[in-house]
Amino acid sequence: MKSVLIIGLGRFGHHLAMKMLELHNDVMIVDSDETKVADLVPYATSTKIGDCTNPEVLRGLGVANFDIVFVCIGTNFQSSLEITSLAKEMGAKRVVSKATRDIQAKFLLRNGADEVIYPEKDIAEEGAVRYSMDNIFDYIEMADGYGIYEITPIPIWCGKSIRESNIAATHRISILGIKKEDGTTNIMPRPDYVINAEEHLIVLANHNELMPLLKKYK
């Protein structure tokens, strides 16, 4: 459990706050618009109304006491930049700021952000991968061109054990789990597990190696 300060309650900030609370974190939410805070008042650990570009308002929040400060200002980049810089100056341990463009990320990183997130860009990229082929059902981007994919097994694997199919050696694809027809998932299946055409595979793979393979057998 972590102590989290979320500044800015647009759509992203709102969803972030709800998920952080669902995961049992201590969450303080802040926005200059009272209406954006109202529906989270019964759930958040603490709520504040105020303009965090004002140093006195930000100082009053005690930013140095939080494990993470999220700056989720989406419509006014100047405000996001100012709050990011002020939070770091006031001793925030970790500042994560929202950006919509690469140029914004560069300025945020230069002015105190420890990390920058692109929610719209990330969703768009993951959606493009997921919906580009009928045999991809979910996708999580990893580093250096790798991702975790939920896919249907290609026909040449079906009816064979994981060991017999030799997937890891032949295609450099690691099977992390088997998602069964009833919705349950067998994590880290044994090498003698027989691959079923009706089940989904959760795999770790390089995008450039997996995509041609899936396209060939779609």
pLDDT at 121: 67
Closest by Cα among 90, 81, 153, 68 to 110: 81
pLDDT at 131: 59
pLDDT at 49: 94
pLDDT at 195: 94
- Confidence label for 128 from pLDDT (cuts 50, 70 and 90): low
CATH class for the domain made up of 3-117: alpha beta
122-216: in CATH 3.40.50.300: no
Higher-pLDDT residue of 200 and 126 is: 200
27 has a pLDDT exceeding 90? yes
- Confidence label for 129 from pLDDT (cuts 50, 70 and 90): low
Same fold, 3-117 and 122-216: no
Average pLDDT, the chain: 89
Average pLDDT rounded to a whole number, residues 188-212: 91
Token reading at 34:
């009272």
120 has a pLDDT exceeding 80? no
Beta-bridge partners for 26: 3
Q: How many other β-carbons are positioned within 10 Å of the β-carbon of residue 68?
A: 18
Distance CA 24, CA 29 (A): 15
Mind listing the pLDDT tens digit for each residue in 62-106?
999 999 999 998 778 999 999 999 999 999 999 999 988 888 989
- What proportion of the chain, given as a percentage, has pLDDT over 70? 93
Q: How many other β-carbons are positioned within 10 Å of the β-carbon of residue 153?
A: 23
Average pLDDT rounded to a whole number, residues 12-38: 91
Query: For the chain, what are the domain ranges?
Result: 3-117, 122-216
Distances (CA, A) of 144 to 105, 141, 174, 206, 208: 19, 9, 16, 8, 11
pLDDT at 43: 87
- Confidence label for 174 from pLDDT (cuts 50, 70 and 90): very high
Distance CA 212, CA 153 (A): 14
- Tell me the residue type at 215: K
Mind listing the pLDDT tens digit for each residue in 139-165?
887 777 888 999 999 899 999 999 999
pLDDT at 80: 93
pLDDT at 193: 94
pTM above 0.75, yes or no: no
Four-residue CA torsion sign, 67, 73, 74, 80: negative
Q: Are strands 146-151 and 174-179 parallel, antiparallel or unpaired?
A: unpaired
